[in-house]
Chains A and B, each alone.
Chain A
Amino acid sequence: MVLTALTWLAVVVLSLGSIGVFVFFLRDLPGVLPNKANHRASGDDHPEA
């Protein structure tokens, strides 16, 4: 029954893992979004092109 146990384990890892990662993402979200207050189309701020 090893493969059956592995299948149940995959169910647990995938469901809890994905939800857990999403919760941590929500925690990080404010730092990921660019600051709206600083919004403006800059003229030439990419490092190298």
Chain B
Amino acid sequence: MIRWGAGMGDLGAAAVAQCAVPHRLASVDVAIIATYLGAMIVVGVIVARRLRGFRDFFIAGGRMTTPLLVCTLVSTYYGLDVTFGTSETAFFEGVAAFVAYSAPFYLFYVLTAVLVAPRLKRLDALSLPEAIGNAYGAQARIAAALASFVYSAPILGVAGMGLIGTVFFDLEPWQGCAIGGAVATVYTMLGGLLADALTDTVQFVVMCVTAAVAAVVMLCTVGGPEAIGARLGPEVLAPLGTLSSWEVLVFAVVAMTPLVEPAFYQRTFAAVNARQVVKALLIGAVLWASYDWLVVYLGVAGRDLVAAGRLPAGLDGSEVLLHVAAIALPPGLLGLFVAGCLAAAMSTVDSYTLIAAGNVVYDGWQTATGRRLSDRSLLLATRVLVLVTMAAAIALALLFERLRDAWIFMSTVLLSTVLWPMLAVLFAPRLATRRAGRWSTTAGLTVSVALFVMFEVAGTPTVDGSMALLLPGVGVELQRESALLFTLPLAALGFAAGAAADRQRGTAP
């Protein structure tokens, strides 16, 4: 899953150009990173020789068990946007980054595990749009495929790889994006979800272990959170920091994304059975919380290092984790840490590229044309679309100055389009009438996209770098971050109106 932190606002080309090189990599570090990248491609080649068709390629033949699901879920959900974004939020807000920003997600992970996964596994589908289409028809499936494609285009992960290339290898942003994107594209095109999941297992271990080692070094060097709080002031340890209740509410609403997360849905369909997914999500929630807490702690430790003069005073918050790691880790482990950062980015990029490609071919093209492709054509077309999607993501990653804006747009479109229809399919199938789904997906998709176009065309900049829009006739000023609070009720209204219309016409089930 993708989450945003304030750091994603600074991952654009302009901010990347300001990055200082925190540490020169030793030869052993470069060798570790090169070995890691080479190993990813080898996995893709090995898996490609064993694939038997589209089902193997797109949902790993439905053979995924709990350990593999844990690895792929944790590493896919934890991209660079979250890693850098959470540490930056902690750098500025202290432990509130964990309490207000990360914690709501755990509630929805658990709800997803207990309530959604078992129901989802009973559906006869390979993707989120297909589940929507089976209940509401072709129009709803195409709208869901478009929303899922917008959400899954791996713009943020690709931009994160550009940042790593700039900070550690002195590359231009486009070069880092292109190298990381090319490796992820090759093994995803070759081996599909299975190659993606197998590489995720290595990426999962690397990112977890390096974060743990960096935390141990910092605990021994600067002490625990209480010791840092005693030096920096109690506000560092305040549960909600300086966040307003409005911001906390927006975080809580955005935390609902696991309920309709395309990558989670794909892995549920790929699991051997529902029990394996439930166990994986519950174990994953514990590991997510541990990883989140350590990243928050490292962000707070970075603030302490700045106060102590060991890091520059004007440090960009999005770079804090890289600087702390450069101080904490010796040669060898630093290379592993950079590989871990690449792993966090690539595990997200490969998964979402595959989903986005599948959305276009499996859900979009087949539904729109009414032509059922042969298994061989489906496989070939999805592989080609993986390449096209990655190329588009690299171009968009370099285009956006503020990638946080891109993330807000992506998550708002997904939730507005599919949340209510999908919840109805899972929990209230009697309400899931054709018009209800059609009207809700169409209204959610149209209004959320139109709203963001209006923000760009007619919005006024706010002091915190966002955009605001005066809603005509209502007299209410809507901030871009709060657009979801407007589009979600509207999509609910569309769903209710469609259900009422079907009942009136006697076409409800």
Residues in A lying within 8 Å of B, measured CB to CB: 1-11, 13-15, 17-19, 21-22, 24-25, 27-28, 31-36, 38-49
Contacts and interface: CB of A to CB of B under 8 A. Distances in A.
Contacts of A41: 52-53, 375-376, 379
A34 B208 contact: no
B375 A18 contact: no
B61 A34 contact: yes
Contacts of A40: 52
B215 interface: yes
A36 B201 contact: no
19 contacts: A2-B226, A3-B237, A4-B223, A4-B225, A4-B226, A4-B227, A6-B293, A8-B224, A11-B290, A14-B291, A15-B209, A15-B212, A25-B201, A42-B52, A43-B375, A45-B52, A46-B54, A49-B372, A49-B373
A36 B205 contact: no
Contacts of B55: 45-47
A15 to B, nearest CB: 4
A5 B219 CA distance: 11
Contacts of A6: 293
Nearest to A35: B50
B287 interface: yes
Nearest to B372: A49
Interface of B: 47, 49-56, 60-61, 63-68, 70-71, 95, 124, 126, 130, 194, 201, 204-205, 208-209, 211-213, 215-216, 219, 223-227, 237, 283, 286-287, 289-291, 293-294, 297, 362, 366, 372-376, 378-379
Given A17-B208, A44-B374, A47-B126, 4 more contacts: A10-B291, A25-B71, A25-B201, A34-B56
B50 A25 contact: no
Contacts of A5: 224
A22 B201 CA distance: 7
B50 A34 contact: yes
A18 B226 contact: no
A12 to B, nearest CB: 8
B290 A13 contact: yes
A47 to B, nearest CB: 7
Contacts of A10: 212, 215, 289-291, 293-294, 297
A3 to B, nearest CB: 4
B227 A34 contact: no
Contacts of A19: 205, 209
B374 A43 contact: yes
Contacts of B227: 4
B49 A39 contact: yes
Given A4-B227, A21-B204, A25-B68, A36 B215 contact: no
Contact of A1 (B71, B224, B294): B224
Contacts of B289: 10
Given A3-B225, A8-B219, A32 B52 contact: no
A10 to B, nearest CB: 4
Contact of B65 (A3, A31, A39, A45): A31
